[in-house]
Structure 1
């Protein structure tokens, strides 16, 4: 067997409040976007800021953490890259890349200072087939 690795670590800010849906098998699927930034010097010598947006998916996230997933909040996300496709309502095949979260840690000072800080770590694999019930929705 060949050795391979699919691991992503991100620190960024939520671009929107998280949304949670449930699959027919009652698996909760929480989705949100996360912005990461990098700065570099352009050809003209001036600093350029670049933002990359990531689509994040969390399975069976505790309600206490869902409440913290608000626009602008800073989080550490650890997970894996997943690419899938779906056919939209116009019968056009679309491709979608997302980060499947395996660990989620709030980093805002208010949330970190709380004595009841919640972190999330995915235990085992989630039946991904059960989450693809509605292929017209890219989440």
Structure 2
């Protein structure tokens, strides 16, 4: 029986995603998500930021590579995966990353000038792996055509 291993993460990409292919041709896309936490102390409002490595596979990797870029907001639903290895000095090392199984594309950061307001899109974009759902016109045709 599998144990529960699930995570939901929201944040913004710190740089453009990196797309690669395995030797067998499977697409894999890696990106880093910065997630902010705000809290109050006696000194006032405080914040901290955490950075998370995310990888997505197959068609979801291709879609993320095409539509994501630095600064874009995302909601990732996935699982944690631990990599373990021994470095050149013989020390055991490990790191944890998120394997994304669903990615929601959130609104892009505002790029309008002072006093101007950006009209919000009709909805956020939602991309999943096996049952891809896209709610905006620009992605919908691409995502649905593949399934």
Query: What's the TM-score once normalised by structure 1's chain length?
Result: 0.72
Number of corresponding residues: 119
Q: 4+ runs of 1 displaced by more than 6 Å? A: none
Q: Distance in 2 between matches of 1:48 and 1:8?
A: 24
Shift of 1:29: 1.2
Deviations 1:49-88 (A, max 9, x none): 1101110010112534322221100011000011111344
In structure 1, stretches of 5+ residues that fail to align are 124-139
Q: Which of the numbers 99, 119, 122 marks the counterpart of 2:127? A: 119
Contact 2:27 2:61 in 1 (8 A): no
In structure 2, stretches of 5+ residues that fail to align are 110-119, 132-147
Equivalent residue for 2:45?
Answer: 47
Equivalent residue for 2:85?
Answer: 86
Contact 1:78 1:101 in 2 (8 A): yes
RMSD of aligned Cα (Å):
2.6
Shift of 1:93: 3.6
- Cα distance change on mapping 1:86 and 1:29 into 2, 3 Å: farther
1:38 aligned onto 2:46:
no
Query: What's the TM-score once normalised by structure 2's chain length?
Result: 0.68
Q: Distance in 2 between matches of 1:64 and 1:113?
A: 19
Please identify the structure whose Cα radius of gyration is greater.
2
Q: Distance in 2 between matches of 1:93 and 1:122?
A: 35
Instruction: Compare 19-28 and 61-70 and name the one that shifted more.
Output: 61-70
Q: SS at 1:83's partner residue?
A: strand
Structure with the greater relative contact order (CA < 8 A, sep ≥ 6): 1 or 2?
1
Q: Distance in 1 between matches of 2:67 and 2:100?
A: 15
Equivalent residue for 1:19?
Answer: 18
